[in-house]
């Protein structure tokens, strides 16, 4: 017999009264820490401090290895060597694989073996390692469920509950496992909303790593703008999509010291997925964009879309290339933006557009897969529902940032 939500809670209360015996218990320091991290008055400041530490560690770790080691290796050794030994300098194959023969750094070369490898290994890999290392420690220590309890009230305003914080944080590493993690949410409405909002508004760790490299002083602004859109459009979707948002039912485990073996195992599994999925898409993206450039198709498409890109979004028509690359890998698209001549405000706008623009192909495939779990009707809902939401968000929220710059008088 299927019970309603209220009946389920009543049954839980009855069972608890019959089997639970209450006695005296002497609190320990561990109990006190568990209590202060789950109560809003003390837990919210602690959560802010933890997330700030998360962000600081992410930036410091990624920056240390990228700027301290990989930039020097790729720009001073790998690029000059490849430019010297690769045959057919100036030919189409050279341009596709090595890139611009006059480039002095891998970012500007934009060949599959130069920019492609540098973006994937030199910039993204340290960011991915830093993110998943910190996330695994938070998971194994037992802090994530407490963060879910703290954020529950806020997320209920947009039709979700506290456990949605887990896919949100996962999405900062990669959108694909984050969309898969939405299965833990209780209703179809919540799963669809969360999957679509993640795919549009939450940049992955790879994308964040590139953003920290090209616009470090504006990453905070970009994140605030994206998170504001997450809650605003989440509120709108909650009103438009029928369905209920049940109360959270979550097991909060005791704190424990993470085991090194488990942390290393989880970290390796997640990083291994990056090598097998992300790197091939980065290289493929560079090759496709270079072929489109050599054939003139990219220039033709830029001219066709120029009225929309320049008039509505306020960005150069050349951003059409990164927008195409974003369908394969958004980190690659953000890296390509850095090679286009534009103002810092146009660059920030372009980065926001890439974030809002169509989710990468792996994330889109996962959205369709999640829809199949609910039959063909679910597939159609995820496909057309996500596309409709995406189109509205790109034109409304993407165009609004251009209006903000105009109001502030910086463009």
Say if residue 1's pLDDT is above 70: no
How far is 230 from 253, CA to CA, in rounded Å? 29
> Phi/psi class of residue 301: alpha, beta or left (left: φ > 0; alpha: ψ in -120 to 50)?
alpha
- Mean pLDDT of the region 251-276: 86
pLDDT of residue 165: 87
pLDDT of residue 283: 85
pLDDT of residue 315: 93
* Statement: the pTM of the whole predicted model exceeds 0.85: no
309-365 pLDDT per residue, tens: 999 999 999 999 888 888 878 888 888 898 888 999 999 999 999 999 878 777 877
Say if residue 29's pLDDT is above 80: no
Q: What is the CA radius of gyration of the chain?
A: 23
> Phi/psi class of residue 153: alpha, beta or left (left: φ > 0; alpha: ψ in -120 to 50)?
alpha
Range of lowest pLDDT (23-32, 52-61, 64-73): 23-32
Say if residue 248's pLDDT is above 70: no
The answer to whether 339 and 318 have CB atoms below 8 angstroms apart is no
Q: Which among 359, 60, 313 is positioned nearest to 202, based on CA atoms?
A: 359
95-134 pLDDT per residue, tens: 999 998 888 888 788 889 998 898 888 888 888 898 889 9
Q: What is the mean pLDDT of the chain?
A: 86
Question: 138: burial class by Cβ within 10 Å (0-12, 13-18, 19+)?
Answer: middle
3-state SS assignment for residue 250: coil
In this prediction, residue 3 has a pLDDT band, given cuts at 50, 70 and 90, of: confident
Between CA 163 and CA 268, with CA 165 as vertex, the angle to 5 degrees is: 105
Q: Determine the distance from the C-alpha atom of residue 370 to the mean position of all C-alpha atoms in its chain, rounded to a whole number.
A: 18
Q: How many CB atoms lie within 10 A of CB 236?
A: 15
- Mean pLDDT of the region 368-392: 78
Range of lowest pLDDT (46-60, 309-323, 340-354, 369-383): 369-383
- Mean pLDDT of the region 30-45: 86
Say if residue 25's pLDDT is above 70: no
The answer to whether 375 and 286 have CB atoms below 8 angstroms apart is no
């Amino acid at each position: 017999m299927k019970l309603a939500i209220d009946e389920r809670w009543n049954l839980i209360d009855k069972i608890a009264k019959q089997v639970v015996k209450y006695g005296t218990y002497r609190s320990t320091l561990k109990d006190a820490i568990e209590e202060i991290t789950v109560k809003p008055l003390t837990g919210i400041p602690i959560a802010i401090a933890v997330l700030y530490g998360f962000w600081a560690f992410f930036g410091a770790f990624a920056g240390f290895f990228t700027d301290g080691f990989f930039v020097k290796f790729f720009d001073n050794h790998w690029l000059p060597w490849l430019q010297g030994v690769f045959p057919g300098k100036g030919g189409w194959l050279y341009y596709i694989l090595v890139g611009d023969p006059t480039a002095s750094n891998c970012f500007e070369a934009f060949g599959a073996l130069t920019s492609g490898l540098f973006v994937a290994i030199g910039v993204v890999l340290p960011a991915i390692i830093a993110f998943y290392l910190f996330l695994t420690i938070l998971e194994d220590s037992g802090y994530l469920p407490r963060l879910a309890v703290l954020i529950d009230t806020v997320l209920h305003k947009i039709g979700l509950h506290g456990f949605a914080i887990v896919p949100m944080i996962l999405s900062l590493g990669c959108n694909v496992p984050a969309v898969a993690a939405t299965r833990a949410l209780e209703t179809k409405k919540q799963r669809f909303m969360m999957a679509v909002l993640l795919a549009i508004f939450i940049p992955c760790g790879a994308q964040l790593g590139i953003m920290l490299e090209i616009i470090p002083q504006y990453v905070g602004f970009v994140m605030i703008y994206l998170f504001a859109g997450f809650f605003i459009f989440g509120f709108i979707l909650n009103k438009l999509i029928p369905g209920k948002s049940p109360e959270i039912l979550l097991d909060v485990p005791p704190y424990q010291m993470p085991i090194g073996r488990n942390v290393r195992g989880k970290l390796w599994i997640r990083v291994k997925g990056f090598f097998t999925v992300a790197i091939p898409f980065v290289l493929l993206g560079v090759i496709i964009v270079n072929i489109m450039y050599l054939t003139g198709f990219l220039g033709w498409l830029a001219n066709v879309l120029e009225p929309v890109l320049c008039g509505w979004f306020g960005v150069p028509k050349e951003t059409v290339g990164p927008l195409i690359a974003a369908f394969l890998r958004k980190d690659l698209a953000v890296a390509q933006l850095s090679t286009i001549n534009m103002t810092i405000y146009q660059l920030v706008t372009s980065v926001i557009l890439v974030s809002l623009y169509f989710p990468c192909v792996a994330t889109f495939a996962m959205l369709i897969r999640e829809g199949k779990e609910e039959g063909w009707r679910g597939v159609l809902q995820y496909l057309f529902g996500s596309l409709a939401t995406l189109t509205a968000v790109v034109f409304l929220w993407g165009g609004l940032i251009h209006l903000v710059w105009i109001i502030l008088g910086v463009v």
